[in-house]
Amino acid sequence: MAIKVAIVGMGGIGNTHARVYMQDPRAELVAVCDLVKEKADKAAEAYGCRAFYDEEEMLKAMPEIEAVSVTTSGYDNGSMHFEPAMLALSYGKHVLVEKPICADIRDARELVAYADRQKLYLGCDLNHYFTGPAYDADKMIANGDIGELVYCVHKVGFNGSEKKYGGAGSPRWLTPYSHIKAFCAHPFSVMRHFCGDIVGVQAFLSKPGVRATACDPMLSICSIHVKFANGGVGYLLSQRGDAMFGLGGWWSYEHAGTRGTFCIENAVEKLHYWDVDKVENPGMASPTPVTKDYGVSDFGSTFPNRIGAFLEDLENKVPREYLRASGRDALATLEYTFAAIKSYENGGILVVPEMLPPLHGDISRVW
Ligand SMILES: NC(=O)c1ccc[n+]([C@@H]2O[C@H](COP(=O)([O-])OP(=O)(O)OC[C@H]3O[C@@H](n4cnc5c(N)ncnc54)[C@H](O)[C@@H]3O)[C@@H](O)[C@H]2O)c1
Protein backbone atom coordinates (compact mmCIF):
# COMPACT_ATOMS: atom_id res chain seq x y z
CA MET A 1 0.00 0.00 0.00
CA ALA A 2 1.37 3.38 -0.98
CA ILE A 3 2.31 5.72 1.87
CA LYS A 4 -0.15 8.63 2.13
CA VAL A 5 1.84 11.84 2.01
CA ALA A 6 1.09 15.54 2.46
CA ILE A 7 3.30 18.55 1.76
CA VAL A 8 3.45 21.78 3.78
CA GLY A 9 4.90 24.72 1.82
CA MET A 10 4.15 24.83 -1.90
CA GLY A 11 7.00 27.00 -3.20
CA GLY A 12 9.49 25.74 -5.78
CA ILE A 13 10.82 22.92 -3.60
CA GLY A 14 7.40 21.85 -2.32
CA ASN A 15 6.41 21.38 -5.95
CA THR A 16 9.61 19.41 -6.56
CA HIS A 17 8.65 17.05 -3.71
CA ALA A 18 5.14 16.81 -5.16
CA ARG A 19 6.40 15.79 -8.61
CA VAL A 20 8.60 13.13 -7.00
CA TYR A 21 5.72 11.71 -4.96
CA MET A 22 3.51 11.68 -8.06
CA GLN A 23 6.12 9.59 -9.90
CA ASP A 24 6.96 7.18 -7.07
CA PRO A 25 4.58 4.21 -6.70
CA ARG A 26 5.49 3.94 -3.01
CA ALA A 27 3.74 7.27 -2.32
CA GLU A 28 0.29 8.70 -2.73
CA LEU A 29 0.15 12.47 -2.48
CA VAL A 30 -3.16 13.18 -0.76
CA ALA A 31 -2.89 16.83 0.33
CA VAL A 32 -0.92 20.03 -0.06
CA CYS A 33 -0.89 23.02 2.27
CA ASP A 34 0.29 26.60 1.92
CA LEU A 35 -0.56 29.75 3.85
CA VAL A 36 -0.97 31.39 0.44
CA LYS A 37 -4.29 30.08 -0.88
CA GLU A 38 -3.43 30.46 -4.58
CA LYS A 39 -0.29 28.32 -4.19
CA ALA A 40 -2.14 25.53 -2.41
CA ASP A 41 -5.04 25.62 -4.86
CA LYS A 42 -2.77 25.59 -7.90
CA ALA A 43 -0.78 22.64 -6.58
CA ALA A 44 -3.90 20.70 -5.57
CA GLU A 45 -5.27 21.10 -9.05
CA ALA A 46 -1.98 20.06 -10.66
CA TYR A 47 -1.58 16.95 -8.50
CA GLY A 48 -5.21 15.97 -8.07
CA CYS A 49 -5.24 16.17 -4.27
CA ARG A 50 -6.87 18.28 -1.52
CA ALA A 51 -5.74 21.84 -0.73
CA PHE A 52 -5.38 23.29 2.77
CA TYR A 53 -4.27 26.70 4.02
CA ASP A 54 -3.61 25.67 7.61
CA GLU A 55 -1.56 22.61 8.52
CA GLU A 56 -3.47 21.72 11.68
CA GLU A 57 -6.79 21.81 9.82
CA MET A 58 -5.26 19.44 7.28
CA LEU A 59 -3.98 17.05 9.95
CA LYS A 60 -7.38 17.03 11.68
CA ALA A 61 -9.33 16.62 8.45
CA MET A 62 -7.19 13.82 7.03
CA PRO A 63 -6.08 11.39 9.77
CA GLU A 64 -5.05 8.94 7.03
CA ILE A 65 -1.95 11.06 6.27
CA GLU A 66 1.11 9.05 7.27
CA ALA A 67 4.04 11.30 6.34
CA VAL A 68 4.53 15.02 5.79
CA SER A 69 7.16 16.82 3.72
CA VAL A 70 7.99 20.17 5.32
CA THR A 71 9.18 22.43 2.51
CA THR A 72 8.72 25.85 4.07
CA SER A 73 11.67 28.28 4.17
CA GLY A 74 12.16 31.38 6.40
CA TYR A 75 15.32 33.14 7.59
CA ASP A 76 18.41 31.32 6.43
CA ASN A 77 16.02 29.14 4.40
CA GLY A 78 15.13 27.15 7.52
CA SER A 79 13.59 29.17 10.36
CA MET A 80 10.07 28.12 9.30
CA HIS A 81 10.77 24.38 9.46
CA PHE A 82 10.47 23.93 13.21
CA GLU A 83 6.79 24.71 13.83
CA PRO A 84 5.23 22.73 10.97
CA ALA A 85 7.55 19.77 11.59
CA MET A 86 6.76 19.73 15.34
CA LEU A 87 3.06 19.97 14.57
CA ALA A 88 3.14 17.04 12.16
CA LEU A 89 5.08 14.93 14.69
CA SER A 90 2.58 15.86 17.41
CA TYR A 91 -0.14 14.35 15.20
CA GLY A 92 1.85 11.12 14.88
CA LYS A 93 3.14 11.72 11.32
CA HIS A 94 6.57 10.86 9.98
CA VAL A 95 8.36 13.94 8.66
CA LEU A 96 10.78 14.66 5.84
CA VAL A 97 12.06 18.19 6.46
CA GLU A 98 14.01 20.28 4.01
CA LYS A 99 17.50 21.43 4.85
CA PRO A 100 18.74 23.14 6.93
CA ILE A 101 16.82 21.19 9.54
CA CYS A 102 16.27 24.51 11.39
CA ALA A 103 17.97 27.89 11.41
CA ASP A 104 18.57 27.79 15.16
CA ILE A 105 20.46 24.98 16.83
CA ARG A 106 18.11 24.98 19.86
CA ASP A 107 15.12 24.31 17.57
CA ALA A 108 17.01 21.52 15.78
CA ARG A 109 17.95 19.78 19.04
CA GLU A 110 14.35 19.98 20.27
CA LEU A 111 12.93 18.71 16.98
CA VAL A 112 15.24 15.68 16.87
CA ALA A 113 14.58 14.88 20.54
CA TYR A 114 10.81 15.17 20.03
CA ALA A 115 10.79 12.82 17.00
CA ASP A 116 12.78 10.34 19.09
CA ARG A 117 10.29 10.56 21.99
CA GLN A 118 7.39 10.19 19.57
CA LYS A 119 9.13 7.17 17.99
CA LEU A 120 8.55 8.60 14.53
CA TYR A 121 10.81 8.86 11.51
CA LEU A 122 12.35 12.29 11.02
CA GLY A 123 14.35 12.54 7.79
CA CYS A 124 15.99 15.52 6.13
CA ASP A 125 16.42 16.23 2.44
CA LEU A 126 20.21 15.96 2.49
CA ASN A 127 20.12 14.90 -1.14
CA HIS A 128 23.74 15.57 -2.18
CA TYR A 129 24.96 12.04 -1.50
CA PHE A 130 22.01 10.27 -3.11
CA THR A 131 23.77 10.13 -6.47
CA GLY A 132 25.29 7.51 -8.76
CA PRO A 133 28.89 8.61 -8.04
CA ALA A 134 28.29 8.64 -4.28
CA TYR A 135 26.70 5.17 -4.32
CA ASP A 136 29.76 3.81 -6.16
CA ALA A 137 32.13 5.66 -3.82
CA ASP A 138 30.31 4.05 -0.86
CA LYS A 139 31.02 0.65 -2.40
CA MET A 140 34.70 1.48 -2.92
CA ILE A 141 35.03 2.51 0.73
CA ALA A 142 33.20 -0.63 1.88
CA ASN A 143 35.40 -2.83 -0.35
CA GLY A 144 38.57 -1.39 1.17
CA ASP A 145 39.67 0.28 -2.09
CA ILE A 146 40.25 3.60 -0.34
CA GLY A 147 41.76 2.51 2.97
CA GLU A 148 42.20 4.77 5.95
CA LEU A 149 41.10 8.37 5.46
CA VAL A 150 43.97 10.82 5.00
CA TYR A 151 42.07 13.91 3.85
CA CYS A 152 38.97 15.13 2.07
CA VAL A 153 38.53 18.40 0.18
CA HIS A 154 35.05 19.61 -0.71
CA LYS A 155 34.49 22.69 -2.90
CA VAL A 156 30.85 23.49 -3.43
CA GLY A 157 28.51 26.44 -3.87
CA PHE A 158 27.45 28.61 -6.77
CA ASN A 159 29.40 29.90 -9.75
CA GLY A 160 29.23 33.67 -10.27
CA SER A 161 31.17 36.92 -10.41
CA GLU A 162 30.95 40.52 -9.25
CA LYS A 163 29.26 41.38 -12.58
CA LYS A 164 26.47 38.88 -11.87
CA TYR A 165 25.92 40.02 -8.28
CA GLY A 166 22.27 41.01 -7.92
CA GLY A 167 22.06 42.68 -4.49
CA ALA A 168 21.27 41.51 -1.00
CA GLY A 169 18.13 39.53 -1.83
CA SER A 170 14.99 38.67 0.13
CA PRO A 171 14.72 38.62 3.95
CA ARG A 172 15.77 34.99 4.06
CA TRP A 173 19.29 36.07 3.05
CA LEU A 174 19.56 39.07 5.38
CA THR A 175 21.58 37.54 8.18
CA PRO A 176 25.39 37.25 8.11
CA TYR A 177 25.14 33.47 8.40
CA SER A 178 22.47 32.84 5.79
CA HIS A 179 24.82 31.10 3.36
CA ILE A 180 26.58 28.89 5.85
CA LYS A 181 23.31 27.92 7.54
CA ALA A 182 21.17 27.51 4.43
CA PHE A 183 23.73 25.78 2.25
CA CYS A 184 26.55 24.18 4.24
CA ALA A 185 24.20 21.50 5.58
CA HIS A 186 24.86 19.86 2.22
CA PRO A 187 28.67 19.74 2.18
CA PHE A 188 28.86 18.92 5.88
CA SER A 189 26.44 16.05 5.26
CA VAL A 190 28.59 14.74 2.40
CA MET A 191 31.80 14.97 4.44
CA ARG A 192 30.20 13.22 7.42
CA HIS A 193 28.65 10.58 5.17
CA PHE A 194 32.05 9.59 3.77
CA CYS A 195 34.33 10.39 6.71
CA GLY A 196 32.29 10.13 9.91
CA ASP A 197 31.80 12.50 12.81
CA ILE A 198 33.65 15.81 12.99
CA VAL A 199 35.35 16.58 16.31
CA GLY A 200 37.15 19.86 15.57
CA VAL A 201 36.25 22.91 13.46
CA GLN A 202 38.18 26.07 12.54
CA ALA A 203 36.58 28.63 10.24
CA PHE A 204 37.20 31.87 8.40
CA LEU A 205 34.15 33.52 6.86
CA SER A 206 34.27 36.48 4.52
CA LYS A 207 32.62 38.34 1.64
CA PRO A 208 33.91 40.23 -1.38
CA GLY A 209 33.89 44.03 -1.72
CA VAL A 210 30.86 44.05 -3.99
CA ARG A 211 28.72 42.69 -1.16
CA ALA A 212 30.28 45.00 1.43
CA THR A 213 29.57 48.03 -0.78
CA ALA A 214 25.96 46.92 -1.14
CA CYS A 215 25.69 46.53 2.69
CA ASP A 216 24.81 42.88 2.10
CA PRO A 217 25.23 41.20 5.49
CA MET A 218 25.83 37.72 4.07
CA LEU A 219 29.23 36.17 4.74
CA SER A 220 29.25 34.37 1.41
CA ILE A 221 32.72 32.80 1.57
CA CYS A 222 33.26 29.95 4.01
CA SER A 223 36.70 28.41 4.52
CA ILE A 224 36.42 25.63 7.06
CA HIS A 225 39.06 23.20 8.31
CA VAL A 226 37.89 20.10 10.18
CA LYS A 227 39.24 17.09 12.06
CA PHE A 228 37.34 13.80 11.95
CA ALA A 229 36.95 11.42 14.87
CA ASN A 230 38.85 8.80 12.83
CA GLY A 231 41.93 11.04 12.67
CA GLY A 232 41.54 12.21 9.07
CA VAL A 233 41.33 15.89 8.20
CA GLY A 234 39.09 17.78 5.82
CA TYR A 235 38.65 21.12 4.15
CA LEU A 236 35.42 22.74 3.00
CA LEU A 237 35.36 25.75 0.72
CA SER A 238 31.94 27.11 -0.07
CA GLN A 239 31.08 30.39 -1.78
CA ARG A 240 27.82 31.78 -3.03
CA GLY A 241 28.22 33.15 -6.54
CA ASP A 242 31.23 35.38 -5.90
CA ALA A 243 33.60 33.57 -8.29
CA MET A 244 33.83 30.69 -10.74
CA PHE A 245 34.90 27.34 -9.37
CA GLY A 246 37.91 25.86 -11.14
CA LEU A 247 38.76 22.15 -11.33
CA GLY A 248 35.83 19.90 -10.48
CA GLY A 249 33.11 22.46 -11.22
CA TRP A 250 30.51 23.80 -8.79
CA TRP A 251 30.57 20.60 -6.72
CA SER A 252 33.73 18.60 -6.25
CA TYR A 253 34.63 16.20 -3.50
CA GLU A 254 38.06 14.57 -3.25
CA HIS A 255 38.58 11.78 -0.76
CA ALA A 256 42.08 10.41 -0.28
CA GLY A 257 42.90 7.25 1.61
CA THR A 258 45.96 5.14 2.21
CA ARG A 259 44.94 2.74 -0.62
CA GLY A 260 43.29 4.99 -3.17
CA THR A 261 41.64 8.31 -3.90
CA PHE A 262 38.31 9.16 -5.45
CA CYS A 263 36.93 12.43 -6.67
CA ILE A 264 33.31 13.25 -7.53
CA GLU A 265 32.92 15.96 -10.13
CA ASN A 266 29.83 18.16 -10.45
CA ALA A 267 27.87 16.12 -7.90
CA VAL A 268 26.06 13.79 -10.27
CA GLU A 269 28.37 13.68 -13.29
CA LYS A 270 31.66 11.83 -12.84
CA LEU A 271 33.61 9.66 -10.46
CA HIS A 272 37.41 9.40 -10.79
CA TYR A 273 39.46 6.76 -8.99
CA TRP A 274 43.21 6.75 -8.48
CA ASP A 275 44.51 3.34 -7.43
CA VAL A 276 47.80 3.55 -5.49
CA ASP A 277 48.63 -0.01 -6.57
CA LYS A 278 48.95 1.26 -10.16
CA VAL A 279 52.13 3.18 -9.26
CA GLU A 280 55.30 1.58 -7.95
CA ASN A 281 56.85 4.73 -6.49
CA PRO A 282 54.05 7.25 -6.05
CA GLY A 283 56.22 10.28 -5.13
CA MET A 284 55.52 12.87 -7.81
CA ALA A 285 53.85 10.35 -10.16
CA SER A 286 50.09 9.97 -10.35
CA PRO A 287 48.41 7.09 -12.14
CA THR A 288 45.83 8.00 -14.75
CA PRO A 289 42.48 7.84 -12.96
CA VAL A 290 39.73 5.45 -13.95
CA THR A 291 36.80 7.72 -14.76
CA LYS A 292 33.13 6.80 -14.84
CA ASP A 293 30.81 9.25 -16.57
CA TYR A 294 27.23 8.77 -15.40
CA GLY A 295 25.72 10.65 -18.34
CA VAL A 296 23.71 12.74 -15.88
CA SER A 297 24.03 16.50 -15.59
CA ASP A 298 20.70 17.34 -13.93
CA PHE A 299 21.18 17.91 -10.22
CA GLY A 300 17.40 17.57 -9.89
CA SER A 301 17.86 13.79 -10.13
CA THR A 302 18.99 13.82 -6.50
CA PHE A 303 15.44 14.59 -5.30
CA PRO A 304 13.78 11.36 -6.52
CA ASN A 305 16.80 9.43 -5.26
CA ARG A 306 16.69 10.90 -1.77
CA ILE A 307 12.91 11.05 -1.38
CA GLY A 308 12.68 7.52 -2.79
CA ALA A 309 15.14 6.36 -0.12
CA PHE A 310 12.94 7.95 2.58
CA LEU A 311 9.88 6.13 1.23
CA GLU A 312 11.83 2.88 1.00
CA ASP A 313 13.02 3.18 4.61
CA LEU A 314 9.44 3.82 5.78
CA GLU A 315 8.10 0.97 3.69
CA ASN A 316 10.76 -1.37 5.11
CA LYS A 317 10.13 -0.06 8.63
CA VAL A 318 13.89 0.19 9.22
CA PRO A 319 14.95 0.77 12.82
CA ARG A 320 14.67 4.53 13.28
CA GLU A 321 18.38 5.00 13.81
CA TYR A 322 19.07 3.36 10.43
CA LEU A 323 16.95 5.93 8.60
CA ARG A 324 19.13 7.41 5.86
CA ALA A 325 19.81 11.18 6.14
CA SER A 326 17.98 11.30 9.45
CA GLY A 327 17.08 14.28 11.59
CA ARG A 328 20.06 13.39 13.78
CA ASP A 329 22.34 13.44 10.71
CA ALA A 330 20.92 16.86 9.85
CA LEU A 331 21.43 18.02 13.44
CA ALA A 332 25.10 17.03 13.08
CA THR A 333 25.46 19.37 10.10
CA LEU A 334 23.93 22.24 12.08
CA GLU A 335 26.18 21.53 15.08
CA TYR A 336 29.18 21.84 12.72
CA THR A 337 27.72 25.03 11.28
CA PHE A 338 27.32 26.57 14.72
CA ALA A 339 30.83 25.41 15.66
CA ALA A 340 32.14 27.15 12.50
CA ILE A 341 30.27 30.35 13.40
CA LYS A 342 31.71 30.27 16.92
CA SER A 343 35.20 29.72 15.52
CA TYR A 344 34.81 32.63 13.10
CA GLU A 345 33.48 34.93 15.83
CA ASN A 346 36.55 34.12 17.91
CA GLY A 347 39.17 34.72 15.24
CA GLY A 348 39.36 31.17 13.89
CA ILE A 349 39.83 29.26 17.15
CA LEU A 350 39.39 25.50 17.31
CA VAL A 351 35.83 24.59 18.34
CA VAL A 352 34.68 21.13 19.35
CA PRO A 353 31.09 20.64 18.10
CA GLU A 354 28.48 19.63 20.68
CA MET A 355 27.98 15.89 20.95
CA LEU A 356 25.00 14.38 19.16
CA PRO A 357 22.15 12.83 21.15
CA PRO A 358 22.77 9.19 22.03
CA LEU A 359 21.36 6.33 19.99
CA HIS A 360 19.18 4.15 22.19
CA GLY A 361 18.56 1.17 19.92
CA ASP A 362 15.17 -0.10 18.93
CA ILE A 363 13.51 -1.80 21.89
CA SER A 364 11.31 -3.85 19.57
CA ARG A 365 14.38 -5.56 18.10
CA VAL A 366 16.72 -7.79 20.04
CA TRP A 367 20.24 -8.23 18.73
N1 LIG B 1 17.55 19.98 -0.87
C2 LIG B 1 17.84 20.87 -1.82
O3 LIG B 1 18.63 20.63 -2.73
C4 LIG B 1 17.18 22.22 -1.77
C5 LIG B 1 17.35 23.13 -2.81
C6 LIG B 1 16.74 24.38 -2.70
C7 LIG B 1 15.99 24.70 -1.56
N8 LIG B 1 15.87 23.79 -0.55
C9 LIG B 1 15.08 24.07 0.66
O10 LIG B 1 13.69 23.98 0.35
C11 LIG B 1 12.95 24.82 1.24
C12 LIG B 1 11.89 25.58 0.46
O13 LIG B 1 12.50 26.43 -0.46
P14 LIG B 1 11.62 27.29 -1.48
O15 LIG B 1 12.60 28.08 -2.27
O16 LIG B 1 10.65 26.43 -2.18
O17 LIG B 1 10.86 28.26 -0.44
P18 LIG B 1 9.63 29.26 -0.72
O19 LIG B 1 9.74 30.34 0.29
O20 LIG B 1 9.56 29.61 -2.16
O21 LIG B 1 8.34 28.37 -0.41
C22 LIG B 1 7.96 28.07 0.91
C23 LIG B 1 6.44 28.07 0.96
O24 LIG B 1 6.05 27.71 2.29
C25 LIG B 1 4.90 28.43 2.65
N26 LIG B 1 4.79 28.39 4.10
C27 LIG B 1 5.62 28.93 5.04
N28 LIG B 1 5.23 28.59 6.27
C29 LIG B 1 4.13 27.81 6.13
C30 LIG B 1 3.29 27.12 7.05
N31 LIG B 1 3.50 27.16 8.36
N32 LIG B 1 2.26 26.41 6.56
C33 LIG B 1 2.02 26.35 5.22
N34 LIG B 1 2.80 26.97 4.31
C35 LIG B 1 3.84 27.69 4.75
C36 LIG B 1 5.13 29.81 2.04
O37 LIG B 1 3.90 30.50 1.85
C38 LIG B 1 5.81 29.45 0.71
O39 LIG B 1 4.87 29.31 -0.34
C40 LIG B 1 13.98 25.67 1.97
O41 LIG B 1 14.13 25.19 3.28
C42 LIG B 1 15.28 25.47 1.20
O43 LIG B 1 16.42 25.53 2.03
C44 LIG B 1 16.43 22.56 -0.65
Q: Is 149 in the pocket of ligand 1 (CB under 6 A)?
A: no
- Confidence at residue 211, expressed as pLDDT on a 0 to 100 scale: 97
The pick from 20, 33, 71, 333 for probing ligand 1's pocket by mutation, whose C-beta has the most ligand atoms within 8 angstroms, reads 71
Long-range CB pairs of 268-276 (<8 Å, 24+ gap) are 268/131, 268/132, 268/133, 268/294, 268/296, 268/297, 268/298, 268/299, 268/301, 268/302, 269/133, 269/293, 269/294, 269/296, 269/297, 270/133, 270/294, 271/132, 271/133, 271/136, 271/137, 273/140, 273/145, 275/145
Q: What is the dihedral of CA 242, 248, 251, 253, to 10 degrees?
A: -130
What does the pLDDT look like over 10-63, one tens digit per residue?
999 999 999 999 999 999 999 999 999 999 999 999 999 999 999 999 999 999
Cβ(96) – ligand 1 distance below 6 Å: no
CATH for 129-296 (1.10.3720.10, 3.30.360.10, 3.30.70.20, 2.60.120.680): 3.30.360.10
What is the structure's pLDDT at 217? 96
Write out the CATH class of domain 3-128+303-325.
Answer: alpha beta
Confidence (pLDDT) at 279: 76
Q: From 34, 95, 104, 178, give the residue whose CB has the most ligand 1 atoms within 8 Å, as the site to mutate.
A: 34
The pLDDT of residue 364: 72
In a 10 Å sphere around its CB, with 0-12 CB exposed, 13-18 middle and 19+ buried, how is residue 73 labelled? buried
Compute, in angstroms, the gap from residue 44 CA to the centroid of ligand 1: 17
Q: Which residues in the chain come in under a pLDDT of 50?
A: none
Return the ligand 1 atom nearest residue 127 CA. Answer: 1
What is the model's pLDDT at position 141? 98
Q: What is the pLDDT of residues 61-93, one digit of tens each?
A: 999 999 999 999 999 999 999 999 999 999 999
Domain ranges for the chain, please list them: 3-128+303-325, 129-296
Which value, in Å, is the radius of gyration of the alpha carbons in the chain?
Answer: 21
| Cβ(9) – ligand 1 distance below 6 Å | yes
